[in-house]
A and B are shown apart, each in its own frame.
Chain A
Amino acid sequence: MRLEYFEMIDRVTSWEEARLTADAHVPEASPVFEGHFPGFPLMPGVLMVETMAQACGWLMLARSGFTRMALLAKVGEAKLRGMVKPGAALTVTAELVHDGSGYAVLKGTLAEGDTRVAEAELTLRTMAFPSPELEAGVRARAAAIGLAA
């Protein structure tokens, strides 16, 4: 993970039609921890949600053959069950609930070992890439995290 760059997913470990699993290692140090919180560094809850959303986005990108971008539109039923500290090794999963026309609903989960630390129902808009630069950047990032593009 590079929190400051919103690079939340380190490695996609598996994906199939309706499910993706990935690794995300929380860094030991980040400017984010200087403010959240001084003397008690914790991964912000919004970044836990962002991590699940990115896993869901990668699943939708892979399903489309990297022809359609996915953007977070709604966070529903989010539960942040545990605190995530620097150095934590997280497993992120994304499961497709419904693939609609121009949108998808997915369930994201975040676990540290056997302990589930977060879950949320996430709605993503799906659309053609708005720019070739974004498409190229997404494809390059997909290759870097082990997701064939």
Chain B
Amino acid sequence: MSPAAPDQTFETIADIISETANVDRAKITPEAHVINDLGIDSLDFLDIVFEIDKRFGIKVPVEAWTEQVNSGKAPAEQFFVMGPLAERIEELVAAKQS
């Protein structure tokens, strides 16, 4: 797929979360933490990642992200807050296209 504008990537992910986990779309802001603020549990998160993988044609490296957080190498906010999450997805899409 062609590179998406940052806002478009955020909107797409927000739509996926809203539809998949039945979350009020208005709550899904760039500052929202997908677990703490949106109440996404691990199974809903799997469904969301599956939809993101399909929609963007990528493989979101959830295991690597989790390992980085658990080992203290990266803050959870880098991957699990909506704004930074959209940036990570854009990076993955760009890396796939390069």
Q: Which A residues are within 8 Å of any B CB, using their own CB?
A: 73-74, 98-103, 105, 123, 125
Residues on A with C-beta less than 8 A from B66 are: 102
Cα–Cα, bound, A105→B62 (Å): 15
- Count the A-B residue pairs with Cβ separation under 8 angstroms: how many? 35
Instruction: Report yes or no: A123 in contact with B50, Cβ–Cβ below 8 A.
Output: yes
In the complex, chain B residues whose CB is within 8 Å of the CB of A103: 46, 49-50, 62
Cα(A99)–Cα(B66), bound, Å: 18
In the complex, the answer to whether B43 meets A100 with C-beta atoms within 8 Å is: no
Size category of the B interface is 10 to 19
Residues of A within 8 A of B63 (CB): 101-102
Name 17 extra pairs, CB < 8 A, besides A123-B47, A123-B50.
Answer: A73-B46, A74-B43, A98-B53, A99-B59, A100-B46, A100-B49, A100-B53, A100-B60, A100-B62, A101-B49, A101-B59, A102-B66, A103-B46, A103-B49, A103-B50, A123-B46, A125-B46
B95, CB-defined interface residue at 8 Å: no
- A98 engages B50 (CB within 8 Å): yes
Residues of A contacting B61 with CB < 8 Å? 101
Cβ contacts under 8 Å, A100 to chain B? 46, 49-50, 53, 59-60, 62
Nearest to A123 among chain B residues (CB) is B46
Nearest-CB distance from A98 to chain B (Å)?
A: 6
